[in-house]
Amino acid sequence: MVDVLVVGGGMAGVSIAYELAAHASVLLAEAEPTLAEHTTGRSAAIYAPSYGSPVVRALTVASGPRYRALETELDTPPLLTPHGSLWVAVDDDGAGRVEALPAEPVSPRQARELCPVLRDVRAAVWDDTASDIDVMALHQGYVRGLRARGGTIRNSSPVTATNRDGAGWRVTVGEDEIGADLVVNAAGAWADELAAKAGVPAIGLRPLRRTLALASGAAEVDPAWPLVADAADRFYFRPEGFRLLISPADETPSEPCDAKPDELDVALAIERINAATTLGLRSVHIAWAGLRSFVADRNPVVGAWPEHPGFAGQGGYGIQMAPALAVLGAAVVLDRPVPGDLPARDVSPGRSANQVVDGGDH
């Protein structure tokens, strides 16, 4: 019997479990033998306050000071390393979008000074508050912190049934039946499947596959280059040592699964980045893919289902918002005060149905 059962050991699960464990007994159940095997282990590790909807940006900004506090609290190495991001318009579509981005306008010449391999830049904006995230240090820090607070983690323990039991729940975790007052659904791309097992309506989460690869080419990569992202969302790249992390910014609908990269998506990333730069990318050392899952308004879903007491969801623009979302989720779930800088109502599962249904989270 535990106060809270958290389902899923990715960033959403471990972060809220840690925050909950300050006030409650917590068990985290993960289906896989290792934690962070799905989306969390496959991200580009970018913290970009200029990325996403206003709600996403507010939560990303609110996470900034919390990242710094967590370095001490969880005894981690630096979690954010400053690394600016440059949004570029390379065609009409991008030119129509780049100026709306909340970052500082720079001239095409300044853009090429920041990243000299860029060819024709129509317009650009610069976000010097962006950083690289040490995703594994954050994830492992939350795991250590959860255990230090008395929380328990069970790997290789899929949740296969969740039934009402009086005011709480009776949950099948691996081979065992466990009683829990509250269930937190942090099952990532599988969140709607888990909700269905609990008799809670789906939120219309749509898993979308995104591909990343490490590439190199004719031109030498300078580790000081910024993250360069197409304002029209057709590619991004950033140095990873002397290689280049590349993506076609793809969003291919998928079932919840162990996502694999499609070689056509890798080829698309190379083609688009070669068209925008003089990099002459030729070879790929490794490629991978993961599922980013969204509801219709693309805001995260965090909090309790008012009409399904004791069932809550936690999902996010995953990593960059995780510290703020975890604090917000834990406060809502335990009915404690929500810090004033966190927009609880905008991310609640109970927000306007047509914003949530037919879409996804993160």
Ligand X SMILES: Cc1cc2nc3c(=O)[nH]c(=O)nc-3n(C[C@H](O)[C@H](O)[C@H](O)COP(=O)(O)OP(=O)(O)OC[C@H]3O[C@@H](n4cnc5c(N)ncnc54)[C@H](O)[C@@H]3O)c2cc1C
Which residue's CB is nearer to ligand X, number 45 or number 146? 45
- Shortest Å distance, C-beta 287 to ligand X: 10
Contact pick of 190, 235, 236, 294 for ligand X (by CB under 6 A): 190
Contact pick of 2, 17, 46, 101 for ligand X (by CB under 6 A): 46
Long-range pairs, 111-118, Cβ under 8 A, ≥24: 111/86, 114/84, 114/86, 114/225, 114/226, 115/86, 115/225, 115/226, 115/228, 115/277, 117/219, 117/225, 117/277, 117/278, 117/279, 118/88, 118/228, 118/276, 118/277
x/- letters, 319..338, toward ligand X (CB under 6 A)? xx------------------
Piece in contact with ligand X (CB under 6 A), picked from 7-15, 61-69, 77-85, 112-120: 7-15
- Shortest Å distance, C-beta 11 to ligand X: 4
- Shortest Å distance, C-beta 143 to ligand X: 13
Cα 49 from chain centroid (whole Å): 13
Q: Is 212 in the site for ligand X (CB under 6 A)?
A: yes
Contact pick of 2, 13, 261, 349 for ligand X (by CB under 6 A): 13
Piece in contact with ligand X (CB under 6 A), picked from 11-19, 237-245, 272-280, 347-355: 11-19
Q: Is 11 in the site for ligand X (CB under 6 A)?
A: yes
Q: Is 158 in the site for ligand X (CB under 6 A)?
A: yes
Contact pick of 5, 24, 40, 236 for ligand X (by CB under 6 A): 40
Q: Is 171 in the site for ligand X (CB under 6 A)?
A: no
Which residue's CB is nearer to ligand X, number 123 or number 185? 185
- Shortest Å distance, C-beta 109 to ligand X: 28
Long-range pairs, 270-277, Cβ under 8 A, ≥24: 270/215, 270/246, 272/230, 272/234, 272/235, 272/248, 273/235, 273/237, 273/244, 273/246, 274/217, 275/90, 275/119, 276/88, 276/90, 276/118, 276/119, 276/230, 276/235, 277/115, 277/117, 277/118, 277/119, 277/219
Long-range pairs, 238-243, Cβ under 8 A, ≥24: 238/44, 238/46, 238/83, 240/214, 242/216, 243/214, 243/215, 243/216, 243/285
Residues that bind ligand X (CB under 6 A): 7-13, 29-32, 37-40, 42-46, 158-159, 186-190, 194, 210, 212, 290-292, 315-320, 362
